[in-house]
Amino acid sequence: MNKAKRLKVYERYNGHCAYCGKKIDYKDMQVDHIQPKHSYRTFEKDIADHINNLNPSCRRCNHYKRGADIKAFRRLLLTLHQRVRKQYINKVAEDYGIITVKPWDGLFYFEKAKLHDNPELLEA
């Protein structure tokens, strides 16, 4: 990917990860295929690399998303709190008030940014 396209991806959400919203430095950004590249047929690979299919991602989100599409990634995150609560060390941390585990609201940063940019969508 050329530098101009990579910079354009980085600027989509003002230097934030499109998924968790964490601020990321350009040098640390990973470019994620929103719809995974493997889901395209061979002759459609150029569509997979279109700017509209690319999101800036922090390393952790890109790693956790792996080859999932948005729907599968959302499902994974919507149940994450349940899986975290099953781990003994996390149960201890919750008991002592060290951590608070709560369900995720189901919206990625890029979706919240779109709602913020389009206030009429907030009212819908």
Q: Which residues form the domain of 84?
A: 3-123
Q: Token pair of 65, please?
A: 């998303």
Segment 28-55 mean pLDDT? 88
* pLDDT of residue 124 exceeding 80: no
Q: Which residues pair with 56 in a beta bridge?
A: 31
> What pLDDT is stored for residue 118 in this prediction?
53
- Joined tokens for residue 11: 């600027």
Total number of domains constituting the chain: 1
Q: For residues 19 and 55, is the Cβ–Cβ distance under 8 A?
A: yes
Average pLDDT over residues 68-78: 97
User: In sequence order, what are the residues at sequence separation of 6 or more whose Cβ sits closer than 8 angstroms to the Cβ of residue 109?
Assistant: 13, 16, 17, 18, 19, 20, 21
Picking from 23-32, 88-97, 109-118, which range would have the lowest pLDDT averaged per residue?
109-118
Dihedrals phi, psi of 69, to nearest 5 degrees: -85, 175
